[in-house]
């Protein structure tokens, strides 16, 4: 399942070969916003690359009108992340995510609020034991999803709404954790204030093993190192407990 597991997040324009089409201005800032995730688990390496996120955005554009629709969306999202068979998440998480997606589709007030994403990030920072943890606020998360919605408007909700749909909120949380919070590139890109879906990016590298960014920032390195050490010492049961607590902070507390 596409949920809080041992993960790597990469935003490396050199490694990915992304290009802006046709919005070529501010290239250096905007390239770093295209996310790639490599999931490093003990029993394998499911991954989410740019192409998977592009497909996830397309899948996320569909309407959800029933629990069956929501369940199908969650399963497709997991399949695109190559994580549908993971044994390191609570068994009921698919149902919880599906109910949360259905609720959010019916009532915008049931979107995942930015302050809950920030709270989950801060909780993970403490769990990882990061030496110099970032502390995010709801305003930081709002800034981040506003920028990301310019690239993936169906995964990340625009600034004009009060929160993010559950699957997108979890993807956003992963990216924030890998980068150690809000990067300077994201803050600069936020000044452009691009509308949802206005930034068109094509992925030159969409498959194969991709390593860490060549020059991650210091806080990003701390999060990556702390994450690896944290998951290496946990049993599968302890990882499931970690996922369960994190999902609870995100208000994914159970089905109906």
Domain count, the chain: 1
Nearby residues of 218 by Cβ (< 8 Å), 6 or more positions away: none
User: pLDDT digit string (tens) for 179-189?
Assistant: 899 988 889 98
Q: Directed axis angle between helix 114-128 and helix 166-179, to 10°? A: 40
Return the structure tokens found at 5. 């597991």
* Closest listed residue to residue 143, CA positions, set 168, 123, 112, 114: 114
User: pLDDT digit string (tens) for 191-200?
Assistant: 998 999 998 7
Residue 54: inside a domain, yes or no? Answer: yes
User: pLDDT digit string (tens) for 43-58?
Assistant: 333 355 677 778 899 9
Residue 1: inside a domain, yes or no? Answer: no
> Using CA atoms, how far apart are residues 127 and 48, in angstroms rounded to an integer?
24
Residue 2: inside a domain, yes or no? Answer: no
Residue 255: inside a domain, yes or no? Answer: no
User: pLDDT digit string (tens) for 223-253?
Assistant: 989 989 998 998 888 888 888 888 889 887 5
Residue 220: inside a domain, yes or no? Answer: yes
Structural domain for 219, as ranges: 7-249
pTM: 0.77
């Amino acid at each position: 399942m596409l949920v809080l597991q041992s993960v790597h997040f990469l935003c490396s324009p050199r490694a990915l070969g992304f290009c802006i089409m046709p919005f070529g201005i501010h290239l250096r800032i905007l390239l770093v916003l295209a996310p790639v995730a490599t999931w490093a688990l003990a029993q394998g390496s499911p991954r989410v690359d740019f192409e998977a996120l592009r497909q996830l955005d397309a899948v996320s554009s569909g309407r959800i009108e029933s629990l069956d629709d929501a369940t199908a969306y969650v399963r497709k999202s997991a399949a695109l992340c190559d994580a549908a068979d993971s044994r390191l998440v609570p068994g009921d998480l698919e149902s919880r995510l599906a109910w949360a997606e259905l609720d959010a589709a019916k009532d915008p007030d049931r979107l995942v609020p930015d302050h809950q994403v920030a709270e989950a990030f801060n909780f993970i920072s403490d769990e990882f034991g990061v030496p110099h943890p970032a502390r995010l606020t709801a305003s930081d998360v709002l800034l981040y999803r506003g920028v990301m919605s310019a690239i993936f408007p169906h995964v990340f909700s625009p600034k004009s709404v009060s929160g993010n749909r559950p699957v997108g909120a979890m993807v956003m949380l992963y990216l924030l954790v890998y980068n150690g919070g809000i990067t300077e590139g994201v803050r600069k890109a936020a000044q452009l204030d691009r509308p949802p879906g206005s930034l068109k990016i094509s992925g030159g590298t969409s498959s194969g093993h991709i390593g860490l960014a060549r020059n991650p920032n210091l806080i990003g390195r701390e999060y990556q190192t702390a994450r690896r050490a944290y998951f290496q010492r946990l049993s599968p049961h302890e990882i499931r407990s970690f996922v369960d607590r994190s999902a609870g902070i995100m208000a994914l507390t159970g089905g109906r």
